[in-house]
Amino acid sequence: MSIPAMRKAISQITGNRMPDHPGLAFSRYNSTIDEKGSYNQREKMLEYLVKKIPMTDRKPYVKAFEKWKTFLSSDQPWAVSHVLSLKDRLFIGLGNESVLEFGLSLHPTYGMPRIPGSALKGVCAHYASEIWGQIEPDWQEGKPLHKVIFGASDDIQQKLLATAGAIDFLDAWWVPADAGPFSREIINTHHQNYYAGENVPPADWDSPIPVKIAAISGSFLFAVRGPVYWNDLAMQLLKEALSTWGIGGKTRAGYGRFGVLSGALSSTTEVWDNAKIIWNAGRGGVVKAVWKDGKIATLEKKDVVEKLIPSEYHGKLFDKKKEVLVKRLEVKNIGGKNYRIEKVE
């Protein structure tokens, strides 16, 4: 049965009454949107999403959301979760096929907004390579740290083996709120004839054609799952990517970006007090500190080490015992239990 025929059959049973399930309302129930010249009916559907859905009985979704939170809590330390709020609004699934000229990414069971884990992984993979990779080359695509979290494709030219990433990026769930998830937005198409391929050049006097669509507001619960330390690092990456680049459609216009409260981002920098560092002159020289839980911090090349470490430690470290106890180390996580020494006191 075709989708229009399905909607028509359903409308005969329900009297064209709209359901409390946004996903069904959006794609199955309203048969009038299939009629010729039914733009006004499409606008009614938008009004329904924005005004009616917040008033519906959402107990099934709320109950499922609470169960999801409980699972994430019980799955620690493998699962790490965090709630982030949108700075403005979000377009996710905008390009999905729809009779309403805009798409939405909705949970298939409960019909409420969700952000697919595959989309989150894609944004994080690109951000890690482009931004973190400028500071630490091993985060660039195809390099060791990038491959650990995101995996690698089978590329014979680059001699990469197909491997799965260590981190699962789970779907983000919309956090239940009284106001509801949907908001009204407008996209203006200024040069309709030009974009329609009618070989008419765009001009300043073209009239804008407003297209009414739905955007998403509120907060989402994000979660990643994987080995300890790596999952914390992946969550840090996810927060940074979403607050800086955003996700979904029209991010260059400010949509899809998430706000992070001051101090909400878990820092990748740690302080180790009374740490012992060991010097090895091989391979151009490397200094290493071993900390609790198997954490290891290193710094390579003697000239770099000499500049960073106070001169009062040089005698014992380079000439005598090859090790010394320092008052304080500042280290930055670069993946798993691996750290880079940033400051020595």
Angstrom distances, CA of residue 264 to CA of 179, 267, 271: 24, 9, 18
Of 30-44, 64-78, 272-286, the range with the lowest mean pLDDT is 30-44
- pTM comes to 0.70
Give the mean pLDDT of 223-236.
Answer: 89
Give the mean pLDDT of 14-35.
Answer: 64
Give the mean pLDDT of 8-15.
Answer: 68
Note whether 310 and 173 are same-domain residues.
Answer: no
Contacts of 210 (CB under 8 A, 6+ apart): 186, 187, 188
Candidates 264, 272, 268, 341; CA nearest to 309 is 341
Q: What are phi and psi of 66, to 5 degrees?
A: -65, -35
Of 18-22, 232-236, 242-246, the range with the lowest mean pLDDT is 18-22
Is the pLDDT score of 31 beyond 80?
Answer: no
Angle between helices 117-127 and 230-244 (to 10 degrees): 90
CB-CB contact of 115 with 105 (8 Å) = yes
Domain count, the chain: 3
- The pLDDT of residue 122 is 92
Q: Alpha-carbon distance 160 to 158, whole Å? A: 5
Task: Give the tokens for residue 193.
Answer: 């004839």
Candidates 232, 105, 237; CA nearest to 171 is 105
Q: Would you tell me how many other CB atoms lie within 10 Å of the CB of residue 318?
A: 18
Higher pLDDT: 244 or 204? It is 244
Is the pLDDT score of 224 beyond 60?
Answer: yes
Note whether 70 and 21 are same-domain residues.
Answer: no
Note whether 12 and 79 are same-domain residues.
Answer: no
Q: Alpha-carbon distance 228 to 98, whole Å? A: 41
Tokens 């983000």 locate to 172
Is the pLDDT score of 18 beyond 70?
Answer: no
Q: Alpha-carbon distance 122 to 126, whole Å? A: 6
Fill in the amino acid letter for 48: Y
Write out pLDDT tens, residues 299-337. Answer: 888 888 888 888 888 888 887 678 888 888 888 877 667
Note whether 197 and 165 are same-domain residues.
Answer: yes
Most confident of 56-60, 133-137, 239-243: 239-243
Is the pLDDT score of 193 beyond 70?
Answer: yes
Note whether 309 and 224 are same-domain residues.
Answer: no
Of 91-100, 234-243, 247-256, the range with the lowest mean pLDDT is 91-100
> Angle 64-70-73 (CA atoms, 0-180°, nearest 5)?
145
Note whether 41 and 159 are same-domain residues.
Answer: no
CB-CB contact of 193 with 186 (8 Å) = no
What's the burial of 80, exposed, middle or buried (CB within 10 Å: 0-12/13-18/19+)? buried
Note whether 250 and 299 are same-domain residues.
Answer: no
CB-CB contact of 31 with 10 (8 Å) = yes
Note whether 163 and 180 are same-domain residues.
Answer: yes
Q: Helix/strand/coil (H, E, C) string of 209-237?
A: EEEEEEEECCEEEEEEECCCCHHHHHHHH
Alpha carbon 297 to chain centroid distance? 28
Note whether 18 and 143 are same-domain residues.
Answer: no
Fill in the amino acid letter for 7: R
- H or E segment to which residue 81 belongs: strand 79-86
Q: Alpha-carbon distance 127 to 238, whole Å? A: 9
Asked which of 9, 38, 55 is the last residue of a domain, the reply is: 55
Task: Give the tokens for residue 321.
Answer: 């015992």
Angstrom distances, CA of residue 201 to CA of 129, 197, 206, 210, 254: 39, 10, 10, 20, 29
Asked which of 55, 84, 99 is the last residue of a domain, the reply is: 55
> Containing domain of residue 99, as a range?
58-266
Note whether 43 and 150 are same-domain residues.
Answer: no
Note whether 276 and 215 are same-domain residues.
Answer: no
Note whether 280 and 198 are same-domain residues.
Answer: no
Higher pLDDT: 305 or 190? It is 305
Asked which of 13, 33, 55 is the last residue of a domain, the reply is: 55
Write out pLDDT tens, residues 148-163. Answer: 899 887 554 455 566 7
